[in-house]
Structures are given as structure tokens and as C-alpha cells.
């Protein structure tokens, strides 16, 4: 018992898994994380996750792009080397709209992506931290920290009642690939 780190409840159906989460919460058992092969809507509210702040990040990066574009064009065409193009004003704002827009989108998209990678600790070659290999295929896995929650038998029964098809006990945190 002492060397079991995580109890994993495997479900075959997302609704049964949600039911299982509810059961565990009724019994004050803390859930470490849930691994699913697809996004499950409504699970964040159930587990009390806050809304993602990525949209705010995207907006800030977008504004950065707008400012970058306008200041770059202003510097190059108005300040550094103003040209007389048919007697038109150097600062021809309507002409700068397309590039300003494109750079806004570019900065917003890339800024948000890198924020997303940073927040999730994603980078090429990172060791995947999966608790079970079938969690990316067809199993909905609830992971429970065995050290924080006593009475593993009770947890097992709860999961089984909720419809778990399999209960696993992991002695290591992640199934590594070595």
C-alpha cells in the first residue's frame, strides 16, 4: 500500500466519468487530475478550474502588434526617409491599415501560442507525462493521489459504483517511455 502513489479509475464513457467525479466529490476525495482523449465540456466548472486567461494574453499581444506595425511604418516612411510619392502625405494612414492588421494578427496568434506552450509546459521533445497510455485513446481516467486520500478500498468501491471498468494502482507518477 505504502508505495502506491496514484489510484486511477478508468471509465469508458464520459458521462459515467462525470458521475464518478461527482461521487468522489460528495465523499470529499480530492481529485489530482483527469485525463481524457477529448475535451469534456463542463468538467472545469465541476472541478473548480478557473477560466483560462489566454484570451487576455492574445489581446495584449495583438495590441503589441498594432503598436509595432504603426511605429515601424511611421519610423521608416515618415521619420527616417520620407519620400515624395505623387505629392501625397508621407503618413498615409489608409495605406498602412493592411499591414497593421496583418501584424496584429501575427503577434496575437504567435504570442498566444507561445503562452499556451509555456503555460502547459509544452516544448518539442518534452517527456510526455501520461499516467496511462489509453488515456489518449479511449479511456477517461480519473487520477487520485493515494497519499492524500486514505481508505483506498473505499475509493475503489466508489469508482466501481460509478461505472469504472478498471482500477489501476500506479507506483510511479508517470508511465515513462524508457
Partner 1 sequence: MSAHNESILREPLITGENITYSQITDEVLVPVENKPNKAWWIGFGIAVFFALTWVAAISYTFWEGLGVWGLNKTVGWAWDITGFVWWVGIGHAGTLISAVLLLFRQNWRNSINRSAEAMTIFAVICAATYIFAHMGRPWLAYWVFPLPNQFGSLWVNFNSPLVWDVFAISTYFSVSLVFWYTGLLPDIATIRDRATGVRRRIYSILSFGWAGSVKNWQRFESVSLILAGISTPLVLSVHTIVSFDFATSLEPGWHTTIFPPYFVAGAIFSGFAMVQTLLLVARKVMKWENYITMFHIESMNKVIIVTGSIVGIAYLTELFIAWYSGVEYEQYAFLNRISGPYWWAYWSMMTCNVISPQLFWFKKIRTSIWASWVLSIVVNIGMWFERFVIIVTSLHRDFIPSSWVMFYPTTIDVLLFVGSIGVFFTLFLLFLRVLPGIAIAEVKLILKSSSDQAKQKLIREGAVDKEQSELYQKSLEKYDSVSKSEYANI
| Opening angle at CA 12, ends 6 and 14, nearest 5 | 90
At residue 171, the 3 state secondary structure works out as coil
Choices 130-138, 145-153, 154-162, 164-172 (CB under 8 A): range interacting with partner 1: 130-138
Asked if 70 touches partner 1 (CB under 8 A), the answer is no
- Sites for partner 1 among residues 77-106 (CB under 8 A): 77, 80-81, 83, 85, 88, 92, 95-96, 98-99, 101-103, 105-106
| Opening angle at CA 38, ends 144 and 17, nearest 5 | 40
| Total chain residues near partner 1 (CB under 8 A) | 68
**How far apart, in whole angstroms, are the C-alpha atoms of residue 65 and residue 54?**
16
Task: Figure out which of the listed residues 22, 27, 30, 52 binds partner 1, where binding follows CB under 8 A.
Answer: 52
Closest by Cα among 55, 54, 74 to 66: 74
**How far apart, in whole angstroms, are the C-alpha atoms of residue 85 and residue 77?**
11
- The residue among 77 and 167 lying less far from partner 1, judged by its C-beta, is 77
Choices 2-10, 134-142, 153-161, 162-170 (CB under 8 A): range interacting with partner 1: 134-142
Burial of 143-152, coded b for 16+ CB within 10 Å and e otherwise, reads: bbebeebeee
Asked if 73 touches partner 1 (CB under 8 A), the answer is yes
**From the CB of residue 129, how many other CB atoms can be counted at a distance below 10 Å?**
12
Residues of this chain that interact with partner 1 (CB under 8 A) are 12, 14-15, 18, 33-44, 47, 49, 52, 54-55, 58, 62, 72-73, 76-77, 80-81, 83, 85, 88, 92, 95-96, 98-99, 101-103, 105-106, 108-110, 112-113, 116-117, 119-130, 133-138, 177
Amino acid at each position: 500500500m505504502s508505495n502506491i502513489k496514484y489510484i486511477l479509475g478508468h471509465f469508458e464513457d464520459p458521462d459515467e466519468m462525470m458521475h464518478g467525479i461527482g461521487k468522489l466529490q460528495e465523499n470529499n476525495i480530492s481529485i489530482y487530475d483527469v485525463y481524457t482523449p477529448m475535451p469534456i465540456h463542463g468538467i472545469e466548472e465541476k472541478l473548480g478550474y478557473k477560466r483560462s486567461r489566454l484570451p487576455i494574453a492574445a489581446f495584449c499581444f495583438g495590441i503589441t502588434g498594432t503598436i509595432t506595425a504603426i511605429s515601424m511604418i511611421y519610423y521608416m516612411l515618415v521619420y527616417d526617409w520620407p519620400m515624395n510619392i505623387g505629392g501625397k502625405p508621407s503618413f498615409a494612414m489608409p495605406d498602412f491599415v493592411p499591414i497593421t492588421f496583418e501584424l496584429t494578427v501575427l503577434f496575437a496568434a504567435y504570442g498566444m501560442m507561445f503562452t499556451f506552450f509555456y503555460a502547459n509546459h509544452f516544448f518539442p521533445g518534452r517527456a510526455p507525462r501520461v499516467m496511462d497510455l489509453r488515456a489518449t485513446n479511449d479511456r477517461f481516467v480519473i487520477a487520485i493521489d493515494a497519499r492524500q486520500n486514505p481508505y483506498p478500498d473505499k475509493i475503489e468501491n466508489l469508482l466501481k459504483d460509478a461505472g469504472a471498468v478498471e482500477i489501476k494502482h500506479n507506483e510511479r507518477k508517470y508511465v515513462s517511455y524508457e
